[in-house]
Structure 1
C-alpha cells in the first residue's frame, strides 16, 4: 500500500478574530484584533492582569495561563460583539525557550477546546518584543529590564544572545547595573578603591544601613528585581545637575553597561548594511545617562546599522504574529524554542 500523502495545511481563514498574549513578570496582557478580508488587522481592545503566570518543576504552568487567558479572551470578544472561534493566537512568554515544555504540550489543546483555536504560535517574549519593535524587517532588538536579552534575524533564522539570568549573564541589564552600583557603595563603606560616596548615600537611603544588605538580598527569590531597583539611583548619580556633579564611578558603570549591551546586539544583528537596531524595555527609561553612551557604543560596534525607535511593544508584536499566522502571511522565521507554530485538528 503506498504511503498516504501528508495532510494539507488548514485553509486560510480570513476574516477572523486573533489574540495576542504577553506573559511576563508583571502579569498577563491580552489583546484582541479582527483580521479583515484584505489582511489588515483592526485592534478591538486589550486587558491586563496583575498576577504573573506561575512556574514550577514542569516549567511555565499551562493551566494557570489558560485559566487567565480564556476568561479575558471571552470578555474581550463579548465587548467587541464577536462570535465564532478565534482564528489564531500568539502567546509570547518570558522563559519560553527554557521553561516552555508544558505550554507546548498542553496549551494548544486547552485553547482549542475553550476558544476553537486551530492555529497557535508559542513565542519567546524577546521574539514578540522584536515583532512589536521592528515588525517583519531584518535587524536586532535589545530587550532590557531587570534582565537583558537581544534577538536578531535576517528573516531566515533567529539569533539570540544573553538572557541567561542575573547569575550567569544579563550583562548591562537592570540587575547588572544595580549590583555594580551596590558593590561600589560597599567599597565606599569599607574604604576600598573603586567606591562611591554618592552611591553609598543612595543605597543607605533606599535600603537602610548597608551592613544589612546581605540579609536583605541573599535569601530573597526576587533578588534580581531588588538589585534592578537600584539602577535608577546609579543613573541619577551619573547625571550632573545644578546641585551635584556627575559621579565618575556611576558614569563608569553605565559606560560599561552600554558596552555590554552593544556587544550583545552586535552578536545577533545581521551583518548587512541597513539593518536596524531597536531598544525596548523598562531599563531605557532611566534616560540619557545610559542612552548617550549606548548610542556611541552601538555606532562603534555596528557602524552599518541604524538605531531606530521601537514601533510597539511585545503585545503589539504578539498581535502581529497572530495576524500573520491567521492569514498565512507570517514573515518571521520559525524556531523550535523561540517561535513554534502549532496547528490543532
Structure 2
C-alpha cells in the first residue's frame, strides 16, 4: 500500500487506527507507529522498554533516515520532509497491517523560528497523502519535554550540540536559550568544545589561561593547531565539529583545572536557563535529556550543585524518554482527544478536523 496512491485515503479504509510520531533533527528523521485506545491488544504488541500499557505502545522499531531535512527561504522545507516521511510511513503501516492514522505528531528542530512553511503546507499535504485530519507540529524542545516528563508541570534541560531549557505550568510554555551556537546555546556541546579549543589555543600561543592538557587533546583530534582555522571555518557543520571536542574536555576534567572550570561554567549556564524556564511555584519536576549528559559525572556533579542553588524548589527526576517518545505521547493524546499540553503556534501547533471540542476549547482558551 503506497500512501496516497490512486487517490486512496487511508483514513477512510477499514482496519485498526494507529498514530504516527516523527522526530526531525540534525541527524535526520525518525518515525514510528504506535497503538492508541483499544486498537491493539497491548499483550500482543512490541511494547517499548519502560512503558506501561497506559503509555503509547510502539508497533515496531523506528525507521530512520540519515539526511537532515533541508531549510530554504521560508524555513524548514515541507517538500523535503514529505519526500523522506511518506515512504517511511507507508512501510510502517504496511508492516503493522494498519490503514488508518488517528493522528500524526511531527517534532522538528527549529520549528519555533523556521516553521512557517511546515505550518502552511504540511497539514493539507498529510491529509491528501495519508488521510490525516489530526496533526500536531511540535518544536523539538516540546517533544523533549514531553518525552522526559509527560503532561506534568516542570522544566527540562535538553543538551546535545546545543542547549535549551523549557518549562510549563500547563497553561503556557517558557523557554530559555536555544539561540544557536553563535548567539547562545550556553553550556551545550558546541559551547564546551569551543571553550576547550580556546584554552588549547591559549596554551599553544603561551597566553595566560591556557591548558597544555587540552592542547594535547586538540592535536590528537584535529592535528596541528596552526591548521585548525582552515579545518574548521569552511565547514558547514561547525557546531557539530566543536561539540565533538566536548568529550575531550570531560575526560580531562579530573586532572586539569581549566577543563573542570569549563564544565563548571557550562553547568552554571544550564542552571541559569533552567531557573528562567522553571515554574516558580510549587514543587515542579526537573529532568535532563540529551546526549551531552552521557559525559557523566564530570558534568553532572557540578550541574546538580548549580541546580540545587538556583532552582531549590524543583525536584530532579530521571527523564522517562526521548523526543520521539514525546512525539508519540502527543500523537496518542491528540488521537484520543485528551491533549492537555498548552498550545502555541510556534511551540505546539495543532490542526484537527471538526468536530473536535477538546482542541476547540484549548484554542479558544
In the superposition, the TM-score normalised over structure 2's length comes to 0.87
Give the secondary structure class of the aligned counterpart of 1:198. helix
Correspondent of 2:132 among 112, 117, 127: 117
How far 1:216 sits from its partner (Å)?
1.3
Confirm or deny that 1:305 pairs with 2:314.
yes
Partner in structure 2 of residue 22 of structure 1: 23
Instruction: State the Cα RMSD in Å.
Output: 1.5
Compute the displacement of 1:344 (Å).
5.1
3-state SS, counterpart of residue 295 of structure 1: helix
Instruction: Summarize the alignment of residues 324-335 of structure 1 with structure 2, pairs less than 5 Å apart.
Output: 324-335=333-344
Q: Deviations over 1:189-246 (max 9, x none)?
A: 111110000000000110000011111112222111111100000000103xxxxxx1
1:89 is matched with 104
**Secondary structure, aligned partner of 1:165:** coil
Tell me the distance in 2 between the aligned counterparts of 1:319 and 1:120.
12
Q: Structure 1 residue 233 and structure 2 residue 226: aligned?
A: no
| Cα distance, 1:342 vs structure 2 | 1.0
Matched, 1:73 2:98: no
Cα distance between partner residues in 2 of 1:232 and 1:120: 38
Q: CA deviation at 1:40?
A: 6.0
Q: Distance in 2 between matches of 1:257 and 1:42?
A: 36
Contact 1:112–1:344 under 8 Å retained in 2: no
The one-character-per-residue Cα deviations of 1:95-150 (angstroms, maximum 9, x if unpaired) are 00111011001111111011110010001001000000000010001110110011
Gaps of at least 5 residues in structure 2 are 1-15, 40-53, 355-365
Gaps of 5+ in 1: 1-14, 240-245
CA distance in structure 2 between the partners assigned to 1:236 and 1:335 by the alignment:
40
Q: Runs of 4 or more off by more than 3 Å in structure 1?
A: 37-41
Which secondary structure state, in structure 2, belongs to the residue aligned with residue 310 of structure 1? coil
Q: Give the Cα separation in 1 of the matches to 2:333 and 2:66.
A: 28
Q: Which residue of 2 aligns with 1:250?
A: 259
> What residue number does 1:60 align with?
76
- Give the conservation status (yes or no) of the 8 Å contact 1:36–1:42: no
**Helix, strand or coil: the match of 1:28?**
strand
Residue-by-residue CA offset, 1:283-322 (whole Å, 9 max, x unaligned):
1111110000000000000111111111000001001001
- What secondary structure, in the 3-state scheme, does the structure 1 residue paired with 2:215 have? helix
Q: C-alpha separation between the residues in 1 aligned to 2:111 and 2:315? A: 29
User: What does residue 221 of structure 1 align with?
Assistant: 236
- Pair 1:155 & 2:170 matched: yes
- Match status 1:261 vs 2:270: yes
Q: Which residue of 2 aligns with 1:315?
A: 324
CA 1:233–1:274: 2 relative to 1, 3 Å: same
2:120 corresponding residue in structure 1: 105
Instruction: Name the structure 2 match of 1:7.
Output: none
